[in-house]
Amino acid sequence: MAIPAMGTPIEDVSAERCVPCSPGLLIDRGEVELLTAQLKAMADQTRLQIVHLIDRSPTGELCVCDLTESLDLAQPTVSRHLKILTTAGLLRREQRGTWAWFSIRWDALRELRKRAFPQGADCSSF
């Protein structure tokens, strides 16, 4: 309780009580593990840059060589990040000869948003 210089309480909220209400059901354990893996995959500066670069690409896809040049990182480092994003189901990988091309799995991102943030799923679409 805050007490002003005059010694009189500004507001007495001690009589108010918290009334518990159920916010709903918890996320299923298997589903929460998948959501956590996907969110962790996105929660990295390099991987977020990779997704951004692919999204901004005119064709909606990029080759590993494009990403290594743009990020100024070694190919094994970029490949490791791409594997994490692909394993999490957020990127699609297509082998074309020697090179692998990657595109965003928009359906997976929409599903992630819908499952992780169900109240906000109706706000806008991807």
User: What is the pTM (predicted TM-score) of this model?
Assistant: 0.74
pLDDT higher at 28 or 70: 70
Closest CA to 118 of 27, 10, 52: 27
* Long-range contact pairs involving 88-91 (C-beta distance under 8 Å, separation at least 24): 88/37, 88/38, 88/40, 88/41, 88/42, 89/38, 90/38, 90/41, 90/42, 90/51, 91/51, 91/54
pLDDT at 39 over 50: yes
* pLDDT tens digits for range 44-98: 999 999 999 999 999 999 999 999 999 999 999 999 999 999 999 999 999 999 9
Q: Does residue 1 carry a pLDDT above 50?
A: no
In tens, the pLDDT along 6-26 reads 665 566 566 677 777 777 777
